[in-house]
Chains A and B, each alone.
Chain A
Amino acid sequence: MSERATSALPGTHFKGFVSVQEAGLRGMVTIRCDLASMKLAAALEPLGLAVPAQRKVESAGEMALAWMSPDELLLMLPYDRAEDIAQQLVQSLEGEFATIANVSDARAVFTLEGAGLRDALAKLCPVDFSQIGAGDIRRTRAAQVAAAIWFEAEDRATLICFRSVAQYMFDLLSAAAAPGSEPALYS
């Protein structure tokens, strides 16, 4: 990684009834392709990954692959590896109608932890979080901006948004997790 590279809000964190931590630089590669493509499955195999089912995330070591739409996946990996892996995928998908893009820098990532995770998110996202468990990802909005939320565990989630609204997202999450505002909806 270039030492010059900085994430949107390095080190920013908030401790409420859910803890909010800016997660630093994360590698992300967008894959647009027919998800049933054999070539795609073959391209993912060396990474130890399979095409995830709808709203699911497949993980393998330091990589995870999320379902984003019927023809889009998001590969999450260490920031330093994103460009190389993206090039590797471009080569393995040669001849296929597929588009690969390194979007690592377009994003901000927050790690959310705590038993009240769903309660805090329910204040921002029009989502029935009782239907979402570990290994699921949900694309939605948080108040006025787009967000994707990956539940890595029951009480731990990774929230991805656009980099430009990182501060807005952090302020939203902090307000939603403010001590004394627990809504006791899911917990």
Chain B
Amino acid sequence: MSHRLASGGRLIDRAKPQNFTFNGKKLQGYAGDTLAASLLAQDRMLAGRSFKYHRPRGIVASGAEEPNALVSLGRGDHFEPDILSTTTELFDGLQAESQNHWPSLERDLLAINNLVPQFLTAGFYYKTFLRPRAFWKHVYEPIIRRSAGLGKAPDTQARDPDRYEQIYAFCDVLVIGGGIAGLQAALSAAQTGAAVTLWEQTPHWGGRAPVDGVEVDGKAADEWIKTTFQALETMPNVKLRTRCMGAGVHDHGYVLGYERLCDHQPEAGGPRHRLWRMRAGRVITATGAIERPLSFAGNDVPGVMLASALRDYIVNFAVAPGKRVVVVTNNDDAYRSAIVAKQAGLDVPAIIDPRDRVIGALPDQARALGIEVLEGRAIRKVKGGKRVTGVEICRQDSTGGAVERHIPCDAVAMSGGWSPVVHLWSHCGGKLLWDDAQSCFRPDPARPPLGVDGQGMVLACGAANGHLGEVLGDAHQAGLAAGKATGGAKTPADPARDQVAQLAPMQPIWLMPAMASYDLRMKMWLDFQNDVKVSDIQLAAREGYQSVEHAKRYTTLGMATDQGKLSNINGLAILSDALDQPIPVTGTTTFRPPYTPISFGAIAGEARGALFQPLRRTPLHDWHEAHGADWEPVGQWRRPFTYLRAGESRHDAVNREVTNARQNVALLDASTLGKILVSGPDAPRFMDMLYTNMMNTLKPGKCRYGLMCNENGFLMDDGVVARLEDGSFLVHTTSGGADHVHGWMEDWLQCEWWDWKVHTINLTEQFAQIAVVGPKSRQLLERLGGMDLGREALKFMEWAEGRLGGFDARVFRISFSGELSYEIAVPASQGRAFWDRLMREGADLGIQPYGTEALHILRAEKGFIMIGDETDGTVIPQDLNLTWAISKKKEDFLGKRGMERSAMTDPERWKLVGLETLDGSVLPHGALAITGDKNANGQAVTEGRVTSTYYSANLGRGIAMGLVRHGPERMGEVVTFAGPEGAEIKARIIDPVLIDKEGAKQDV
């Protein structure tokens, strides 16, 4: 059984017990434990159930590569699934739940899948669930979804209360990985004078060197780690950060770092995670290596773990994964685990080594401790269900038919060699070499990922660079090269010297025993998390999946949350063997960021709640809010759709507002309208290019409505232009179009007409703009005094500047409602005071504000178009009968050529008309006019569509506009619109102008 040892544990503090729960049961560990270590210390061997077969699974690894021991942490709003227990630091009050079992971890009914594993071989879903078609949605998918999967999603009502943030940082050299290689690389780079940042994903510096008994300069590694860390800490050009994982390397030295600030201290306050957005001149990956499992039958039974993990647990946490440990290895390194276990007082009955002859320092030391070494042997099968009870031994060079021996044990430590962590090197295109001697891929220094300067931007060092023995010399070279490349001019000190025991060559073992029978291969797990076995890969190869990327997707090898950290190389080797080709020919699948999953919170950063998106507020926003505004988003602005009074429905409120605007006086907050100053000697010429109609003839003091099209002739924006002076215009745009139009202007000025003398300045926010609308609007403004706004003094489509009621005002006499109307711009900071004044002065005139819906209805009653309703990016001015606003005199304007193309001059184009339902009802928005015919595909043939449709309180019926084929020629004709659920709505084609066609009302 797994248990805590009486002494030792370099990372734990026995004086600080920590209480936690696992599946509701109260347990205790120590400060410094990982959750996995404390579970093992309590003999919690069973950590979860596998994805497909629901097989019992234990802890395999001690770090980020762990495939099995995923848990859910926290409750309610803090609930989070799929957390690696091996990288979760224990804290007092931690609550963990195991995953993917039903009804309980101990008794999982879905483990029945495991009794018939041939049902779920590679491609099983594809082959089985194709037919009958309807079964997929209603039968197969719900069952599969219950049986497969990892943790549960948080409750839909749960809201993460934690804060997250992102941060931008810059450095010359970023070193990822704080083992001894990373420390040395950082030191050497820093000593050149470069600005260095060093990230380490765990809370500890030094990596696994102390566990592996590495000596530096003749002393234990711990001592060198401490002094080097202290040296780095005092250097002003070095920044050190633990609990910060290099998550992804992207183009141009852009690296994402995932810092976990509060996962280990949830009560500390402050942001939980921080995402570093680093720009580095050079990136050094000192990310170490990951041990590979061996493929033998039952290699997934709880109690089987990586040899390195076994000694990590013993040395770091004083946790023994068993009392009687068998080691199985194809290399010398794992002998360290046997020695460590034996020295910790555990029984180590045997080391099983498939190599025929094992000699060397570590095997000698193991033998001297009385451990039997079984050469040329293999584990035939692991015995046990929910935990290991023993192993059957056979000859490696066999089919596994004959059991030579049975060795009772409760833990198996396995090692199939080491794979450098090449993920970060590979993210941005770094290429790999196959290293035959060590049977691993390692970075090819001749083909690194390239930076902006065409030079390699990533340097690997240490174990991550394939140096599985001594690393400091390599790390020094990387640090020096990166420092020099980023301008570090000083010469660093010589590196320290690390000494490790001489190791005999490993022997690649991809199958154990070498000629294992099918029933054994069916129990050899490659991918523990996704339940992919040796037999699955072989089947995929037989079925023609020769590309590694195809085989991966067919079998799901390496597609789980661990992204194949343990399974990748073993799977490639099996596939290569099945295809009878060398491993480097098969190649690897793609390494993609992030290295391990990062939280959505970190990705979102501050952008949640009120900060999710900027909300633009006009100077009158607070007034609207206080007066019943029913908000509508318009771009990033919020505009009142209507102002609701107590007890009023939205419909009632809109009807009240449109009626009042035509009878009394009404206010609209038009501050969101774009206001762009266009000025300079070439401004008139520029304006003529921007607009379809003539602008250079506009006189100062006058206004003109204009249309803007894109190069294709499609209508893009519209609005009123005021000529301020000979050389300057004020362009009004739509609310949503202001930024785009400004960008559009600058694009033409900077890229095409760079020699034109025109400046543009976006003054949208300089002014609060208020429309004063209705027959009593002049009466109201006259009460304010200061400007003569009489019929002749300020004619329709003129503007004037002055002091209106003491306010600095620019008054435009324009109308989007058909009523007598003024739009008054005052400096934004005076907007609220001006609005308050108008409301006060107009109280006895029946003044009311109106919202965007009333604005729409008022303009629709007058047949005015609205960008975004009558236009959708495919509509040209001619479609809207706006030919009067298209200059025939101008040699050119943006869109002119586009409008001349045959598709634009086609008489069959749908054109704007008014629509009046025969029963007075309101047409559905977007409804299509149907001819009654069907096309070749059996679809209804259409001849038009509704673009704007409202209830008009002023007319007492529904009003609409639409685009209809030959529309203007079909006045009085009745067309049919498709309504909901097959309904047909009859509407008559009419003139879109429904109120005051001659324009008398606005010209009083």
Contacts and interface: CB of A to CB of B under 8 A. Distances in A.
A149 to B, nearest CB: 13
B681 to A, nearest CB: 6
Given A6-B829, A7-B829, A144-B614, A176 B165 contact: yes
Interface string A173-186: 00110101101010
Interface string B540-563: 000000000000000000000000
A125 B614 contact: no
Contacts of B390: none
Given A143-B611, A168-B615, A181-B271, A105 B168 contact: no
Contacts of A25: 829
Nearest to B617: A164
Given A5-B829, A106-B764, A106-B766, A175 B163 contact: yes
A99 interface: yes
Contacts of A125: 168
Contact of A102 (B607, B766, B832): B766
Interface stretch (B63-71, B296-304, B575-583, B755-763): B755-763
A97 B165 CA distance: 45
Contacts of A145: 614
B163 A178 contact: yes
Q: Which of A7, A25, A107, A185 has the most B CB atoms < 10 Å from its CB?
A: A185
A13 interface: no
B764 A167 contact: no
A10 B888 CA distance: 52
Contact of B765 (A7, A97, A105, A172): A105
Contact of A130 (B170, B268, B616, B637): B170
B387 interface: no
Contact of A101 (B619, B761, B807, B827): B761
Interface string A159-177: 0001111111001100110
A104 interface: yes
Nearest to B195: A130
Contacts of B765: 105-107, 162-164
A96 to B, nearest CB: 10
Contacts of A127: 168
A177 B828 CA distance: 29
A172 B614 CA distance: 10
A30 B168 CA distance: 30
Contacts of B158: none
Given A103-B761, A175-B611, A180-B269, A122 B167 contact: yes
Contact of A164 (B167, B618, B680, B827): B618
How big is the B interface, by class? 35 or more
Interface string B158-171: 00000101111110
Interface string B871-884: 00000000000000
A127 B767 CA distance: 31
Interface string B786-819: 0000000000000000000011100000000000
B243 to A, nearest CB: 13
A164 B606 contact: no
Interface string A1-23: 01011111000000000000000
A84 interface: no
B385 interface: no
B607 A143 contact: yes
A128 B280 CA distance: 11
B941 interface: no
Contact of A183 (B274, B611, B615, B834): B274
Contacts of A165: 614-617
Interface residues of A, number: 47
A99 B679 contact: yes
B936 interface: no
Nearest to A166: B617
A122 B169 contact: yes
Given A97-B680, A99-B679, A103-B766, A123 B613 contact: no
Interface in B746-789: 757, 759, 761, 763-767
Interface in B324-347: none
Contacts of A5: 827, 829-830, 833
A178 B677 CA distance: 39
B614 A178 contact: no
A109 B169 CA distance: 25
A83 to B, nearest CB: 8
B139 interface: no
A166 B170 CA distance: 28
A145 B606 CA distance: 13
B828 A163 contact: yes
Interface in B827-843: 827-830, 832-834
Contact of A176 (B606, B763, B808, B834): B606
A105 B827 contact: yes
B610 interface: yes
B681 A172 contact: no
Nearest to A143: B606
B250 interface: no
Contacts of A78: none
Contacts of A139: none
A24 to B, nearest CB: 10
Given A25-B829, A105-B829, A4 B761 contact: no
Given A123-B606, A163-B619, A164-B617, A104 B827 contact: yes
Contacts of B827: 5, 104-105
B239 A144 contact: no
Contact of B761 (A32, A123, A124, A180): A32
A185 B829 contact: no
B592 interface: no
B745 to A, nearest CB: 13
A48 interface: no
Interface in B240-272: 268-271
Contacts of A102: 766
A163 B768 CA distance: 11
Given A106-B766, A185-B169, A101 B614 contact: no
A5 B807 CA distance: 10
B277 interface: yes
Nearest to B678: A99
Given A5-B827, A99-B677, A164-B617, A175 B165 contact: yes
B167 A126 contact: no
Interface string A62-77: 0000000000000000
Contacts of B759: 32, 97-99
A122 B606 CA distance: 13
Given A175-B611, A183-B274, A105 B766 contact: yes
Contacts of B619: 8, 163
Nearest to B618: A164
A30 to B, nearest CB: 6
B677 A105 contact: no
B697 to A, nearest CB: 22
A126 B679 contact: no
A160 to B, nearest CB: 12
A123 B167 contact: yes
A11 B740 CA distance: 33
A105 B828 CA distance: 5
B462 to A, nearest CB: 26
Contact of A144 (B607, B617, B829, B834): B607
Given A103-B763, A105-B766, A123-B167, A167 B828 contact: no
Nearest to A125: B168
The 8 A-B residue pairs with the shortest CB-CB distance in the complex, in nearest-first order: A4-B833, A180-B270, A164-B616, A105-B828, A5-B829, A99-B759, A106-B765, A106-B766
16 contacts: A4-B806, A5-B833, A7-B829, A97-B681, A99-B679, A104-B827, A106-B828, A122-B167, A130-B170, A163-B619, A163-B765, A163-B828, A166-B617, A180-B269, A181-B163, A183-B167
Given A166-B617, A181-B163, 13 more contacts: A2-B807, A2-B833, A97-B681, A101-B766, A106-B828, A123-B166, A123-B167, A126-B277, A128-B279, A171-B610, A172-B606, A176-B165, A178-B163
